[in-house]
Amino acid sequence: MEQIIVRRFQPADFSGVIAVEREQFSEHDPYMYMTLYEMNEDTFFVADHRGTVVGFVVGISTIDEYGVCGRVFSIAMREAYQGLGIGTELMKRVVSEFHRKNIGRITLEVRRQNVGGMRFYQRLGFTIARIEDGYYSDGEDAIIMSYMGG
Ligand X SMILES: CC(C)(COP(=O)(O)OP(=O)(O)OC[C@H]1O[C@@H](n2cnc3c(N)ncnc32)[C@H](O)[C@@H]1OP(=O)(O)O)[C@@H](O)C(=O)NCCC(=O)NCCS
Site for ligand X in 30-89 (CB under 6 A): 74-77, 82-88
Among 19, 92, 104, 117, binds ligand X (CB under 6 A): 117
Residue showing the smallest CB distance to ligand X in the complex:
87
What sign has the CA pseudo-torsion 120, 123, 129, 131? Answer: positive
Residues ≥6 apart with Cβ < 8 Å to 140: 111, 112, 113, 134
DSSP 3: T
Residues ≥6 apart with Cβ < 8 Å to 33: 14, 17, 18, 21, 58
Write down the least CB distance from residue 82 to ligand X, Å.
Answer: 3
Write down the least CB distance from residue 39 to ligand X, Å.
Answer: 19
Query: Is residue 123 a contact point for ligand X (CB under 6 A)?
Result: yes
Nearer to ligand X, 61 or 82 (CB): 82
The size of the interface with ligand X (CB under 6 A), counted in residues, is: 19
